[in-house]
């Protein structure tokens, strides 16, 4: 499986480049890439950021200025694997164990998109997409639409392909219950509330609030 870190944002609210922001002594781009490599995927960086090429190969957008969907399109246009993992650069609290579980889930379903939801809110930038979605995504971008969920839904529906959207809190509760009864204790973190897994680091206050997590 190939994997991609979305790092093309302008970091307006942070006031400085998020990808190179230090968190627990390392940059956010390093944290994201380390997770991808630990999952035995082949990570690349999405966005017009040649300065990040020292960390991993960088893939520029084919549709500049279209936000994350432009990065997803660029990734699917060159990937050589059916399933592809995407992760935003600003989610350092997301457990690697969760990503490993999501990869396993995607491998046994017939879904073209595996998208987690938390509190009823989908997180389509932390997801797994099949390259069969590329024509629909490209068509949406060509029409000027860059809304990720709307285009993913439309691209899947156009070919009558299923989307797997699941509630993270239910899965986490089940995994933790199972781990409590196992000798090993399982790998899902128990100290970190599930609602914090998808905490985006958008402002200096977010950094201060999460540094002790």
Show me where the domains of the chain are located. Answer: 2-210
Tokens of 49: 């950021």
Topology of domain 2-210, per CATH? Spore Coat Polysaccharide Biosynthesis Protein SpsA; Chain A (3.90.550)
- What is the pLDDT tens value at each position of the chain, 213 positions in all? 999 999 975 544 444 578 898 888 899 999 999 999 999 999 999 998 889 999 999 999 999 999 999 999 999 999 999 999 999 999 999 999 999 999 999 999 989 999 999 999 999 999 999 999 999 999 999 999 999 999 999 999 998 999 999 999 988 888 766 555 444 445 577 778 888 889 887 666 656 555 555
**Minimal CA–CA distance to 39: which of 107, 118, 90, 121?**
107
Token couple for 52: 């990040």
Instruction: Find where tokens 């971008």 sit.
Output: 141
Tokens describing residue 37 = 């490599």
The DSSP secondary structure of the chain, one letter per residue, reads -EEEEE-----TTTTS-STT-EETTEEHHHHHHHHHHHTT-EEEEESS-GGGGGTS-EE--SSTTSTHHHHHHHHHHH-SSSEEEEEETT-TTS-HHHHHHHHHHHHHS--SEEEEEETTEE-TTSEEEEGGGHHHHHHHHHTT---HHHHHHHHHHHTT--EEEEEHHHHHHHHHHHHHTSSS--SS-SSS-GGGTT----SHHHHHHHTT-
Beta bridge partners of residue 42, listed in sequence order: 2
Q: What angle do helix axes 134-142 and 68-78 make, rounded to 10 degrees?
A: 140
pTM value is 0.89
């Amino acid at each position: 499986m190939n994997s991609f870190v979305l790092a093309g944002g302008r970091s307006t609210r942070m006031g400085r480049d998020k990808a190179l922001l230090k968190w627990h002594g390392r940059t956010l781009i390093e944290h994201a890439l380390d997770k991808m490599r630990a999952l035995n995927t082949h990570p690349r960086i999405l966005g017009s950021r040649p300065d990040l090429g020292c960390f991993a190969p960088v893939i520029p957008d084919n549709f500049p200025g279209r936000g994350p969907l432009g990065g997803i399109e660029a990734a699917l246009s060159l990937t050589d694997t059916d399933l592809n993992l995407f992760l935003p650069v600003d989610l350092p609290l997301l457990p690697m164990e969760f990503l490993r579980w999501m990869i396993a889930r995607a491998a046994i379903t017939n879904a073209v998109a595996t998208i987690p939801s938390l509190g009823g809110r989908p997180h389509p930038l932390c997801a797994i997409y099949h390259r069969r979605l590329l024509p629909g995504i490209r068509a949406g971008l060509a029409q000027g639409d860059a809304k990720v969920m709307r285009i993913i839904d439309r691209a899947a529906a156009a070919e009558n392909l299923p989307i797997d959207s699941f509630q993270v809190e239910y899965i986490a509760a089940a995994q933790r219950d199972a781990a409590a009864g196992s000798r090993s204790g399982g790998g899902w973190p128990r100290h970190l509330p599930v609602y914090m897994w998808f905490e985006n680091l958008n402002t200096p206050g977010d950094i201060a609030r999460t540094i002790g997590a």
